[in-house]
């Protein structure tokens, strides 16, 4: 079977590529840059922008299954940037899949599409889409997910959306490096009581979920047209986990704290200043970030287990051990 991975040079995408190659699949990658690891894997690579419909069309030629991971994440930035990549890029993928006779599309979504700032405790896929987005990333991912699920069964295409929560692991170039950098600079603050529970997705487990869903995906299957939360079976206490990561990196635990009310107030003020004054970069605190750092958000994976046999490959303890060398390198920089 010939498969395409969009964003296959990225954090999650590369792990999906590796698992597909190991499974004996013929893999093509659509990505923006050059990645040494893809050359090592000897996979076909097409460089292009997901916003370029013609380039996406060419990438889907002769493909049976598409894993669409290409996206831009973040808590700050212009609407057009997030919409162009996350929403319009996904619409380009959908159109290319349908015109080129692709039979299966596995879309990487996010639990943030249903996150409204309130606590989510063992929440299921019955949660409705949020009506109150505090940043553009979840909004544009929601629009993309809706389009993907609505396309299931059209022109022979079966679709599914997976929502891995807080993907982490070796080669992460976003979440963990920022955490370590803030801790080293003394700018990391615990928001709230520190007792909030969260779900996490170790990257190899999140990648495996994509392959497991694909194996059960066809238009009339229970998987077709559905969205699934993907994370480890048990939640963790967020700030306990953060301190465990810092300990592995040889750094002291977080000791400074700020109340939720103060964090949200600061986030609101900083958002106004950055937006009004067109300041570069992103605010160190936003309302969305304050909510994420202080509230519980963990999800039930029963449906993924039932419908396509989702089963993590790596335990939490093993995952933490695999993180230690990389954490120490980050702390030494």
Q: In what order do the strands lie in the sheet with 197-198?
A: 120-123, 297-299, 197-198, 236-237
Residue 108: CB partners within 8 Å, gap ≥ 6?
12, 67, 68, 69, 71, 161, 162, 164, 210
Mean pLDDT of 153-160: 96
- The stretch 103-108 carries a mean pLDDT of 98
Asked whether residue 173 carries a pLDDT value surpassing 90, the answer given is no
How much is the pTM? 0.95
pLDDT higher than threshold 80 for residue 1: no
Q: Catalytic residue positions?
A: 137
The rounded distance, in Å, linking the Cα atoms of 117 and 32 is 33
| pLDDT confidence of residue 333 | 82
Report whether 326 contacts 170 (CB < 8 A): yes
41-100 pLDDT per residue, tens: 999 999 999 999 999 999 999 999 999 999 999 999 999 999 999 999 999 999 999 999
Count Cβ atoms below 10 Å from residue 224 Cβ, excluding itself: 19
Q: Are 283 and 267 in contact (CB under 8 A)?
A: yes
Residue 237's pLDDT band (cuts 50, 70, 90): very high
Residues 145, 163: Cα–Cα separation, whole Å = 10
| Distance of alpha carbon 263 from alpha carbon 294, whole angstroms | 9
Average pLDDT of the chain is 95
Is residue 239's pLDDT more than 80?
yes
User: For residue 117, what pLDDT band results from cuts at 50, 70 and 90?
Assistant: confident
The class level of CATH for 2-172+200-233+299-313 reads: alpha beta
Q: How far apart are the first and last CA of the chain?
A: 42
Domain residue extents for the chain: 2-172+200-233+299-313
């Amino acid at each position: 079977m010939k498969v395409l991975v969009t964003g296959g040079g990225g954090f999650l995408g590369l792990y999906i590529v590796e698992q597909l190659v190991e499974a004996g699949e013929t893999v093509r990658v659509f990505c923006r840059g050059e990645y040494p690891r893809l050359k090592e894997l000897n996979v076909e690579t097409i460089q292009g922008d997901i916003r370029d419909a013609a380039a996406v069309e060419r990438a889907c030629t002769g493909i049976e299954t598409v894993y669409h991971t290409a996206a831009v994440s973040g808590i700050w930035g212009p609407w057009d940037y997030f919409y162009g990549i996350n929403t319009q890029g996904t619409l380009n993928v959908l159109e290319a899949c349908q015109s080129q006779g692709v039979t299966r599309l596995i879309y990487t979504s996010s639990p943030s599409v249903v996150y409204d700032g309130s606590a989510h405790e063992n929440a299921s896929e019955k949660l409705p889409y949020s009506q109150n987005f505090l940043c553009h990333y979840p909004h544009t991912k929601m629009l993309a997910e809706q389009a993907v699920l609505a396309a299931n069964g059209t022109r022979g295409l079966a679709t599914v959306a997976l929502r891995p929560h807080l993907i982490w692991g070796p080669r992460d170039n976003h979440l963990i490096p920022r955490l370590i950098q803030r801790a080293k600079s003394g700018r990391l603050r615990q928001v709230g009581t520190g007792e909030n529970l969260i779900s996490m997705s170790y990257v190899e487990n999140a990648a495996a979920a994509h392959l497991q869903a694909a194996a059960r995906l066809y238009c009339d299957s229970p998987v077709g047209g559905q969205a699934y939360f993907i994370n480890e079976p048990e939640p963790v206490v967020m700030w306990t986990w953060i301190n465990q990561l810092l300990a592995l990196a040889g750094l002291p635990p977080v000791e400074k704290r700020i109340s939720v009310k103060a964090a949200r107030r600061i986030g609101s003020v900083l958002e106004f200043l950055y937006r009004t004054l067109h300041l570069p970069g992103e605010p160190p605190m936003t309302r969305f970030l304050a909510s994420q750092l202080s509230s519980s958000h963990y999800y039930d994976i029963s449906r993924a287990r039932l419908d396509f046999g989702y089963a993590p490959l790596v335990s939490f303890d093993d995952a933490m051990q695999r993180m230690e060398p990389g954490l120490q390198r980050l702390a030494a920089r």
